[in-house]
């Protein structure tokens, strides 16, 4: 067993990040490399993998766990009463007529590289249930857990360059796995703190003192033992599956592509500074390196947005500056490397926060209105879709439901909304729960 140690942010429902990060090789919320590959070997029994739907589009999802305040970020209300507009001002962005909070000056300069959905809305103001809804496109159902976008992407598009198709950085969150499809489609859990001087990926970096020659010798010895075991115990089909498992595990551990992707020390120090020398900033940089190497979907977990108390102090102290620096640097870096045209970047949480500031200088849960930012890939950028009312309570134009957003994500990935899987009880389930893509984004 191992535990990621990147802080223990706790939301108001009493669930800490640390509670969710305790995972083992067969953890409920994520997989280490051996478990991931072993499950994939077993999954081969169900038949060959389907052809990739759209091999050229990646996704980086920045998940703001806890429910970020839409009014204090991307949907400010400068003309509202003080108890609504809060303590922050607004700043003009690089796109004339669009203003966001003055606490995000770097993202204001990147406005032409993303679009703001100000009509986004959800009926669910709960943390756990809201996570499920926004990350899967389905409301919580006690009988079944639905797969998240990253897991569907992994199933539809598969491996590229030997890299895990779906990875998570910054800690495992709720409902970031394969759901009823099985843990074979859970994310590869990168683990650790990318900002640490000693950061390494447990299942990609060989143990200390074990060089390439020793790894090769160990593989030869293991192969001999496995051959004896296969002859004695395993069927021919099972042997082929395990052969594939060990080969893929060895290939990733010894792969120059994987080693390079996970080695942040290869980056120029000035670029690392631009992202921010903190866990989130370096996580964004790592996400760029992973999609560049072949990973198709990267989820970046950033907690701490459940601001029932001291909302403004908390946001301007670390939350917004880190987000502003890391997110803006990611957009610019992807653009500079000609990767933004093939990489959709999304930023969102599970709901918005109350327009009215409470007696503890905080904002509480609010489902009526929230923000989602999205850009890159086939997405039109530099615009605002939808509008909330003068107090930021509910959409007054172009509301975007959760199901609509899910349909939008899959359309950007080239995955048909009619794609259907079978639940464990053989019930057909579509990946989209009746939503329609936001046409203004395409």
* Rounded average pLDDT per 10-residue block, the chain, 442 residues: 43 60 38 58 46 72 98 98 98 98 98 98 98 98 96 95 95 96 95 94 58 53 51 50 48 70 96 98 98 97 98 97 98 98 98 98 98 98 98 98 98 96 95 96 98
What backbone phi and psi angles, to 5 degrees, belong to 279?
-60, -45
What backbone phi and psi angles, to 5 degrees, belong to 268?
-60, 135
Instruction: Look at strands 395-397 and 387-388 and give their pairing.
Output: antiparallel
pLDDT for the residue 123: 98
Sign of CA dihedral 273, 276, 279, 282: negative
What is the spatial distance between Cα 315 and Cα 192, in angstroms, rounded to a whole number? 24
pLDDT for the residue 11: 80
- Measure Cα distances from 172 to 22, 261, 262, 303, 375 in Å: 9, 20, 18, 11, 24
What is the spatial distance between Cα 217 and Cα 367, in angstroms, rounded to a whole number? 57
What backbone phi and psi angles, to 5 degrees, belong to 219?
-65, -40
Sign of CA dihedral 401, 403, 406, 407: negative
Question: What pTM was estimated for this model as a whole?
Answer: 0.84
How big is the CA angle at 118 (ends 116 and 121), to the nearest 5 degrees?
A: 125
Interior/surface letters 415-438, b for 16+ CB within 10 angstroms, e for the rest: bebebebeeeeeeebebbbebebb
pLDDT for the residue 56: 86
Nearest to residue 98, comparing CAs of 74, 78, 82? 74
DSSP state of 205: S
pLDDT for the residue 13: 74
pLDDT for the residue 124: 98
pLDDT for the residue 9: 61
């Amino acid at each position: 067993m191992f535990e990621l140690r990147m802080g223990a942010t706790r939301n108001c429902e009493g669930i800490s990040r640390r509670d969710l990060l305790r995972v083992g090789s067969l953890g409920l919320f994520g997989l280490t490399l051996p478990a991931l590959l072993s499950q994939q070997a077993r999954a081969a029994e169900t038949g060959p993998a389907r052809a990739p739907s759209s091999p050229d589009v990646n996704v980086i999802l920045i998940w703001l766990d806890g429910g970020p305040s839409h009014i204090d970020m991307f949907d400010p209300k400068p003309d509202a009463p003080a108890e609504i507009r809060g303590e922050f001002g607004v700043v003009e962005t690089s796109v004339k007529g669009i203003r966001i909070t003055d606490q995000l000056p770097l993202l204001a300069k990147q406005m032409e590289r993303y679009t703001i959905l100000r009509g986004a809305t959800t009926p669910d103001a709960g943390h756990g249930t809201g996570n499920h809804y926004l990350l899967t496109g389905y409301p919580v159902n006690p009988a079944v857990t639905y797969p998240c976008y990253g897991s569907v992407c992994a199933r539809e598009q598969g491996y590229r360059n030997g890299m895990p198709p779906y990875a998570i950085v910054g800690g495992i969150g709720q409902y970031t796995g394969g759901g009823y499809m099985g843990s074979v489609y859970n994310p590869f859990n990168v683990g650790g703190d990318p900002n640490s001087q000693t950061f390494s990926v447990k299942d990609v970096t060989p143990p200390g003192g074990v060089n390439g020659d020793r790894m090769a010798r160990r593989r030869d010895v293991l192969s001999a033992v496995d051959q004896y075991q296969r002859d004695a115990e395993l069927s021919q089909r099972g042997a082929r599956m395990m052969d594939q498992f060990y080969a893929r595990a060895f290939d990733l551990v010894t792969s120059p592509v994987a080693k390079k992707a996970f080695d942040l020390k290869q980056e120029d120090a000035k670029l690392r500074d631009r992202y921010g020398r903190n866990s989130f900033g370096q996580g964004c940089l790592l996400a760029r390196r992973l999609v560049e190497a072949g990973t198709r979907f990267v989820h970046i977990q950033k907690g701490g947005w459940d601001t029932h108390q001291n909302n403004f102090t908390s946001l301007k102290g670390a939350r917004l500056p880190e987000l502003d620096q890391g997110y803006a640097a990611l957009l610019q870096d992807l653009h500079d490397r000609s990767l933004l045209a093939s990489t959709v970047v999304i930023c969102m949480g599970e709901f918005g926060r109350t327009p009215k500031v409470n007696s503890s200088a905080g904002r509480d849960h609010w489902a009526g209105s929230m923000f989602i930012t999205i850009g890159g890939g086939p997405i039109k950028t530099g615009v605002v879709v939808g509008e909330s009312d003068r107090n930021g309570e509910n959409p007054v134009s172009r509301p975007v439901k959760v199901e609509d957003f899910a349909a939008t994500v899959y359309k950007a990935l080239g995955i048909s909304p009619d794609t259907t899987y079978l639940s464990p009880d053989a019930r057909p389930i579509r990946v989209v729960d009746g939503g329609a893509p936001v046409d203004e984004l395409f």
